Amino acid sequence: MISLPRLWAVARKETIQLKRDPRSLAMAFLVPAAMIVFFGYIISFDVKDIRLAVLDQDQSQRSRQLVQAFEAAGRFRVTQRVTNSAEIAPLLDKAVVRIALVIPPGFQKDLDAGRPAPVQAIVDGADANTASVSMNYATAIIAAQNQLALPIQVEPRVWYNEALESANMIVPGLVAVIMMIISAMLTALTIAREWERGTMEQLAATPVHPVEVIGGKLVPYLVIGMIDVTIAVTLGLTIFAVPLRGSALLLLAMAFLFLLGSLGLGIFISAALKSQLLATQLAMLATYLPSVLLSGLMFDIASMPLPLRIISTVVPARYFVVVLRGVFLKGVGLSVLWPQAAAMVAYAVVGLGLAVNAFKKEIA
């Protein structure tokens, strides 16, 4: 029979050990918050303050209006004004500017006559993302300046992330990735520490069941994990102004399931390897790369090759990222997110099952 008092005794013992280990406490509380802030600022697909060189060969009112439209858009900053096309290449070579706008002679004359007026934008393509975004911005500004009446008027509307801010997409996903890494690394030390300190003999002599040991060791870290999730969500709301449109209770419930599986995975690694060093290294390898690359945090899973898409189905952070973005940005509920909820329930069951199965009280 599973005894709750015995499980609680193991949890109390693990809590006392945590209090005596300031490094683990620092990893548990300071590292997740620091990573949210650090990566939230560093990882960004927004392109702002694009340095622009202008070659205005027309020197007319309409050409000046076009340049002013680029400056007024808030994305471009005119840093260089050149007098001939030969000056453009060195500026791009040295990355002094990202894009050069060339307005040919006769620009205003062509516009006044109702003829197409070509404008050239020369873009530094060394950074493909910046080049693509810069070209899109430039095309939109030039199109807005076009005075020709078009039979079709396009009015685009963006849902959920109206300002197209990278932080709104990145920060919720970071919560999943960081909690996956931290949870597995913290619990990767638990069982291995017992073996290395020689206290496993004392634990083996007690009547505690393996389920009670795993559950007891899980409880303190589960509490820490829920506190970390709350801190991470609060930082996202306050520092990065990410909107929370859905249910906070649903978010915490999903986080609870996710943490159960992640903590179980860490305990499984710890019980299987019995070495703190090896367990930490394997926990980092098993969580960091899959969570960052195959969770959909930074790269669209649908665009990946088929083998990687298949591998991503066993990466739990993939499902939690969808949940976080759905709750934060879309405000959807369980009626939409139930496939991800089912996947995380399965992940929690598998993680805890592996941990219980790997833990052995017998001493060789």
pLDDT at 193: 75
Strand, coil or helix: 48: coil
Q: Is the pTM of this model over 0.85?
A: no
Cβ of 294: how many Cβ atoms within 10 Å?
A: 20
The tokens for 359 are 């833990």
pLDDT at 1: 67
Give me the tens of pLDDT residue by residue for the chain, a chain 364 residues long. 677 888 888 888 888 888 887 877 787 788 888 888 888 887 777 677 889 999 999 999 988 988 998 888 888 999 999 999 889 988 988 889 989 999 989 888 888 887 778 888 888 887 777 788 888 888 888 877 765 444 444 455 667 777 667 788 888 888 888 888 888 888 887 777 777 776 766 776 677 777 888 888 888 888 988 998 999 999 989 998 888 999 999 999 999 999 998 888 888 888 888 777 888 888 888 888 888 888 888 888 887 889 988 998 988 889 999 999 999 988 888 999 999 999 999 999 998 888 888 877 555 5
3-state helix, strand, coil split of the chain in percent (to 5) is 65, 5, 25
Distance CA(250)–CA(336), nearest Å, equals: 12
* CB < 8 Å & 24+ apart, contacts of 336-343: 337/250, 337/254, 340/254, 341/254, 341/257, 343/316, 343/319
pLDDT at 161: 73
Tokens 């929370």, residue? 244
Helix orientation angle between 316-325 and 166-187, rounded to the nearest 10 degrees = 140
Q: What is the CA radius of gyration of the chain?
A: 28
Q: Which is it for strands 99-103 and 120-123: parallel, antiparallel or unpaired?
A: antiparallel
